[in-house]
Structure 1
Amino acid sequence: MKRILCILSLLLIITACDDGNLTVDPIDFSAGAILKCSIKDVLYKVQGSEMMFIEIPSSYFANDETVEGAPLEVHLSSTIKVTYRRYASDTSELNICPTAPDATPNLVEQWQATEGIIQITATAIKTTNLAENSTRITGYIYNITFKNITFIKPDGPQTQETVQFGNYTTTVNPLAFGFNHEVDKSTCTTKVFDFSGGEVFTLDVADYDALFAPEPTTTPRTRLISADNKLSYRLYSNTITDAYFCAAITPTTPTLTQQWDAIDGIEATSGIIEVSTVHIGGDYIHTIRLKKVTLKRGNSEFSLGDDYLFGTLITH
């Protein structure tokens, strides 16, 4: 009898403890693309009558890759929010995006996240020119995952270790590279420039006089891109000229919007500057080619290809 009473008591204790457990309602918004409201910094997904959205500044999607294995981590706060909603019938962006969102269909249930981390992994989208073996960046994919996120539901809090929100895709205009390949030496430095509107391609070598010597070549002169031999692409908000770089104080306009610097070269492998010189009349024509050069900004990079014509420089 005592044994039976002990078993019954134990069952009562277990039952009493179990009554306090909350039901976990799994959230799965992994299918489909994440969309962005056009007039506010809100990313959202709609699945029939369900919606999940993030209020997050667009600065967290800065058109750059994240380091592999090291996603960007953004903690929820009073300004960065994750919300789940269920409506009485199918919902749409009209219930979240307009300044005055639609009141129909009726909102049935809302969960507000109070704790958690938004993990963002960014990867560049690239197009490849197979003939040149070159690449250009046309956009970025941001994979978004919620880690250790706690929602306050009508029946209490719910914490999930991982919730996949999915992919948010942006597009960028590929760099124009609208150069005519007729380059000039700067009037104030030994840099060699090619200008095209707001674009400028700059080659800055330590031994300019040797690389562009007034002597015909039988084999090209070569240099590796390095701290002494730098190649840089810059994009400005307006037309750029040599005067900008020669000014004693850097002008406030036009403004620099992008800068991509070449990665250091490897002997006989990549990052090679090649100059061939011919003598025509009283001029020396130096043809500058770039072999297997990669340009990088932040964590993003793209290739100019196996053989890119930087341009021709004429000296006397």
Structure 2
Amino acid sequence: MKKIVGIFVLLFCLNACDDGDFNIESFDFADAATNSCNNGESGFFIYKINDNEALILQIPEDSFKNEITPAETPRTIDINSINKVFYRLYNGTLSANVICNTIPPATPTVSNEWNALSGIIEISTFVNKQVNETTNASEITGYTHTIVLRNVNFDTGNGNQQLFTELAFGDYVTSSLRQGNFNVNIAKCGNNNSFLFKIPTIGTSTPANIPPQALTLSIDPSLFVPEVTPVNEPRTALLNGSSNLLKLIYYNGIISNEFLCLTEPPIFPSAIEEFISNNGVAGESGIIEVTTTIEYEIPTDNLSPIIGHRHKIALKNVTMTKSFPVLPIQVNFNFGNVYEFGEFVILL
């Protein structure tokens, strides 16, 4: 922290002009959180608050794409009359209500403002994952956008200017689409055992980042032999991108079992994001296991008549890679050591 302040002081000595009572040593937002206003609307901007100071970036919201940037190759945005950077000093302590309010409160008020005349905004994007240390399952939770301002030249007022060759704004985090609760029964299209799917319940209170979605499994139906498998000896196959393929698909509208069973789905709802399973490697990853038992009528005992066979599907070490939209750098997650896809009964 002392080094950062020291750099600012040095820059001030090299570039300083008369800026009134402003103290360059207080220009420190390293520990401040990044927040935003007007998400999904015009006038979007992000900001950082340090007591009575605010650093504001007003740039298009889609500047923060949920796409990993290549190493040493950030996105760049020129600072101009559309892409703006402000520094403001207020005469009182700030809050989000002050910054985001379309009708500014009476207090605090701006006592000093710097407007950036030129410079470049650099944005480097990284994926965030939440990992279950027990199961090794991971989920993409969002993206971190690290922002650096380079060669930014501020108009400090009264014809004076202040140049920063490098100013670390900090991180801004955007959320990603999240998985719903797939702890639901397997569904099929009639008697078709080669295409299985699960649709989690989506209600009016479901968060916006958990959209309608489906987990689908195209699977070789020969795995469902009407014979009991020996203990600890399931039938196995590998995910292969065709006859055995797992997909996680997010949609822009409510879907149903009937929708997924249509041979020619309508234009709406349509997929907004899709992940597909990586091909399996024998003994290592992308493994399908099917365990078969006998299904009896209720109550289930040895005297009850057999009505069919219950097939339980487990997926081992399955990695899912985003296939749509196509990205320059792949994004993936893992369903963990063992993922219980579910079970269903094939009647005699």
TM-score tier (shorter): 0.7 to 0.9
Q: Summarize deviations over 1:238-268 as a string: whole Å, max 9, x none.
A: 5423321343542244444543322333332
- How far apart, CA to CA, are the structure 2 residues paired with 1:59 and 1:225? 35
Seq. identity, %: 29
Work out whether residues 79 and 121 of structure 2, in 8 Å CA contact, stay in contact via their aligned partners in 1: yes
SS at match of 2:102: coil
Seen in structure 2, the aligned counterparts of structure 1 residues 187 and 68 have a Cα distance that, compared at 3 Å, is farther
- How far apart, CA to CA, are the structure 1 residues paired with 2:287 and 2:61? 38
Aligned pair partner of 1:121 in 121, 124, 132: 124
Partner of 1:168: 172
Q: Quote the offset at 1:103 in angstroms.
A: 5.6
Determine whether 1:82 maps to 2:85.
yes
Q: Normalized against structure 2, the TM-score is what?
A: 0.71
Q: Quote the offset at 1:66 in angstroms.
A: 4.2
Seen in structure 2, the aligned counterparts of structure 1 residues 224 and 121 have a Cα distance that, compared at 3 Å, is farther
Work out whether residues 28 and 163 of structure 1, in 8 Å CA contact, stay in contact via their aligned partners in 2: no
Aligned pair partner of 2:289 in 248, 260, 274: 274
Work out whether residues 187 and 257 of structure 2, in 8 Å CA contact, stay in contact via their aligned partners in 1: no
Seen in structure 2, the aligned counterparts of structure 1 residues 97 and 181 have a Cα distance that, compared at 3 Å, is same
Partner of 1:310: 341
Seen in structure 2, the aligned counterparts of structure 1 residues 72 and 286 have a Cα distance that, compared at 3 Å, is farther
- How far apart, CA to CA, are the structure 1 residues paired with 2:254 and 2:100? 37
Aligned length: 294
Q: Quote the offset at 1:231 in angstroms.
A: 0.7
SS at match of 1:30: coil
Aligned pair partner of 1:291 in 300, 312, 316: 316
Partner of 2:235: 221
Computed over aligned residues only, the root mean square deviation of the Cα atoms, in angstroms, reads 3.2
- How far apart, CA to CA, are the structure 2 residues paired with 1:168 and 1:239? 30
Seen in structure 2, the aligned counterparts of structure 1 residues 182 and 192 have a Cα distance that, compared at 3 Å, is closer
Q: Quote the offset at 1:97 in angstroms.
A: 1.5
The amino acid across from 1:119 in the alignment is: E
Q: Summarize deviations over 1:203-234 as a string: whole Å, max 9, x none.
A: 124xx243334444443333332322321112
Work out whether residues 51 and 85 of structure 1, in 8 Å CA contact, stay in contact via their aligned partners in 2: yes
> Which runs of no fewer than 5 residues in structure 2 stay unpaired?
1-13, 18-23, 202-211, 296-305
Aligned pair partner of 1:145 in 144, 148, 158: 148
- How far apart, CA to CA, are the structure 2 residues paired with 1:194 and 1:93? 41
Q: Which has the larger radius of gyration?
A: 1
Determine whether 1:194 maps to 2:198.
yes
Partner of 1:71: 74
The amino acid across from 1:150 in the alignment is: N
Determine whether 1:180 maps to 2:184.
yes
Partner of 1:230: 245
Partner of 1:210: 222
The amino acid across from 1:245 in the alignment is: L
Seen in structure 2, the aligned counterparts of structure 1 residues 176 and 83 have a Cα distance that, compared at 3 Å, is same
Seen in structure 2, the aligned counterparts of structure 1 residues 236 and 58 have a Cα distance that, compared at 3 Å, is same
Q: Normalized against structure 1, the TM-score is what?
A: 0.77
- How far apart, CA to CA, are the structure 2 residues paired with 1:211 and 1:74? 54
Work out whether residues 28 and 164 of structure 1, in 8 Å CA contact, stay in contact via their aligned partners in 2: no
- Range with bigger deviation, 176-185 or 304-313: 176-185
- How far apart, CA to CA, are the structure 1 residues paired with 2:190 and 2:241? 19
Partner of 1:35: 35
- Range with bigger deviation, 227-236 or 255-264: 255-264
- How far apart, CA to CA, are the structure 2 residues paired with 1:274 and 1:41? 49
- How far apart, CA to CA, are the structure 2 residues paired with 1:187 and 1:235? 25
- How far apart, CA to CA, are the structure 2 residues paired with 1:189 and 1:217? 18
Work out whether residues 86 and 114 of structure 2, in 8 Å CA contact, stay in contact via their aligned partners in 1: yes
Q: Summarize deviations over 1:258-285 as a string: whole Å, max 9, x none.
A: 4332233333222222223345435233
Q: Quote the offset at 1:44 in angstroms.
A: 1.0
Work out whether residues 186 and 192 of structure 1, in 8 Å CA contact, stay in contact via their aligned partners in 2: no
Partner of 1:53: 56
